Amino acid sequence: MKQYTEEIKMEKQKRKQLKAKKGAVRVATVGCGLHAILNIYPCLPRISEIDLVAVCDLKKELAQQNARYYGAKVWYTDFEKMIDTESPDGVIVVGPPPMQYQIGKKILERGIPIFIEKPVTWSIEESETLQKIAEEKNCWGQVGYMKRFSIPYQIAKHIIEKGDLGRITQITCKYACGKYPPKLWNLPEPKMCSLLGHEVHIIDLFRFFGGDIEELFAMYHCISEEQHGYCVSLRFKSGAIGSLSTNSFERWENFDEYLSISGEEAYIVVDQMARLKFYPRNDWVTVPKVNIQNLSMNWATSGRTSIKTEDRIGYYYELKHFATCLKEKKKPSVSLEDGIQALKTAYAIFESSQSKRPIKLI
Ligand SMILES: NC(=O)c1ccc[n+]([C@@H]2O[C@H](COP(=O)([O-])OP(=O)(O)OC[C@H]3O[C@@H](n4cnc5c(N)ncnc54)[C@H](O)[C@@H]3O)[C@@H](O)[C@H]2O)c1
């Protein structure tokens, strides 16, 4: 212990001598696995508000390699040593939910905000524990529900907030992928794996647009241990209704994501997070003597001006939001509470599909 404390003292001195990036917050990361290196780390050097001070993984070679690739000043294999030495403003934690729980807890206990991947933890109780610690320490956690930050969904939100859609009346979605691992994170129930590992994304998106879900009824179909489908009818607290079809019957190569939001005499469709069509209540152009129909406003990625995937689907903007919240000492727009609500909804979908009964969430 004495040696550990001495080492930390020496390291702290060294760190002070390293100049921080001007005006940026000091961020450290834990976990250099697949999702981290494919989607999260590549965004960091482009975010001017982030100074990546350290990277940690149990596997030394991964920590070393990713510190080099993404410009971290140092790397660690022991996250507690990293936190105590570097005193970062915030920590990004990316890994399987049991790891995220163990590590997230220790970081929040030190009063340091975290960015943590969805579904946060796989039990509701564990996510509630994280939230409780965060509250006690006057701290917070942002959950990696990046779809909220994806460009077409942000456009849709903006249209809605401007009042151009009217009240939201109905939300419809198809979310389909290929075979899903039945032993994910050692979950005891294979039928739950895609719900907790994957479909929580779209559940959170429903809440983003429709608000809290009051009641739902789900049907379930399965053709193998890795291929499940859920068909969910639901009602939001606002009175609006929704319908969500998810499955792992199709192919990852043809991943399908389609969301339609109906308002009052107007609707928005977002297709594959790559195209948005807005059909407004009033025509935006009139041509004498011509009865124009299907007057939609479109947004799509295209050709030479195509947007980086990590920006379009939200990874870049969610991490920028994390940095802004750290810098301005404000709470994130997607919180541990949102993580808990998405988990509660996923469990309710499962319970309803098995009991063949509607479930009330509020
Ligand atoms: N938002 C999205 O679109 C999206 C997509 C895929 C995955 N995810 C989420 O990302 C997470 C999985 O991330 P991944 O694919 O990078 O995980 P992974 O399992 O590939 O890697 C985890 C890494 O953490 C390291 N690690 C484990 N315990 C550690 C500890 N105590 N200290 C330091 N390092 C430790 C491991 O050595 C490993 O390298 C899941 O929560 C998943 O739901 C999100």
**pLDDT tens-digit readout, 289-335:** 999 888 999 999 877 777 899 999 999 999 999 999 999 999 999 99
Tokens of 207: 């809440």
Phi then psi dihedrals of residue 152, to 5 deg: -65, -35
The span from the CA of 86 to the CA of 18, in Å, is: 11
Task: Decide if 101 contacts 130 (C-beta within 8 A).
Answer: yes
Q: Is the pLDDT of residue 171 over 90?
A: yes
Contact 260, 296 (CB under 8 A): no
Using one digit for the tens of pLDDT, what is the confidence trace for 239-272?
999 999 999 999 999 999 999 999 999 999 999 9
Please give the Cα distance from 118 to 311 (Å, whole number): 18
Q: State the average pLDDT over residues 63-87.
A: 97
Backbone angles phi, psi at 173, to 5 degrees: -145, 140
Which residue carries 């995220």 as its tokens?
100
What token pair was written down for 178?
Answer: 């290929």
Instruction: Report the separation in Å between the CA atom of 97 and the middle of ligand 1, taken as the mean of its atom positions.
Output: 8
Residue 118 Cβ contacting ligand 1 at under 6 Å? yes
pLDDT at 186: 84
Tokens of 124: 């509701």
Indicate where the chain has its CATH 3.30.360.10 domain(s).
Answer: 148-308+336-360
Query: Which residue intervals of the chain are DSSP H helices?
Result: 2-17, 34-35, 60-70, 79-86, 97-109, 124-136, 151-161, 190-194, 200-210, 309-312, 315-328, 336-355
Largest CA distance in the chain: 87
Q: Extract the tokens encoding 110.
A: 């030190």
Report the top-level CATH class of 148-308+336-360.
alpha beta
CB of 239 closer than 8 Å to CB of 168: no
| From-to residues of CATH 3.40.50.720 in the chain | 2-146
**What are the tens digits of pLDDT across the range 178-228?**
999 988 888 888 899 999 999 999 999 999 999 999 999 999 999 999 999
Distance 357 CA to ligand 1 centre (A): 35
Counting atoms of ligand 1 from 1, which one is nearest the CA of 102?
A: 31
Residue 51, beta-bridge partner list: 26
CATH 3.90.170.10 fits 2-146, yes or no: no
Locate the ligand 1 atom nearest the alpha carbon of residue 198 and give its number: 43
The string of pLDDT tens digits covering residues 85-110 is 999 999 999 999 999 999 999 999 99
Query: Considering only CA atoms, which residue is closest to atom 3 of ligand 1?
Result: 146
Name the percent of the chain lying above pLDDT 90: 87
Question: What average pLDDT does the chain have?
Answer: 94
CB 193 near ligand 1, within 6 Å = no
Q: What are the structure tokens assigned to 229, written together?
A: 């489908």
**Cα–Cα dist 196/245, whole Å:** 15
Average pLDDT over residues 157-173: 98
76-112 burial string, b = 16+ CB within 10 Å, else e? beebebbbbbbebbbbbbbbbbebbbebbbebbeeeb
Ligand 1, from 60, 93, 99: best to mutate by most atoms within 8 Å of Cβ?
99
Phi and psi torsions of 123, nearest 5°: -110, 145
Radius of gyration of the chain (CA): 22
Q: Report residue 153's pLDDT band, with 50, 70 and 90 as the boundaries.
A: very high
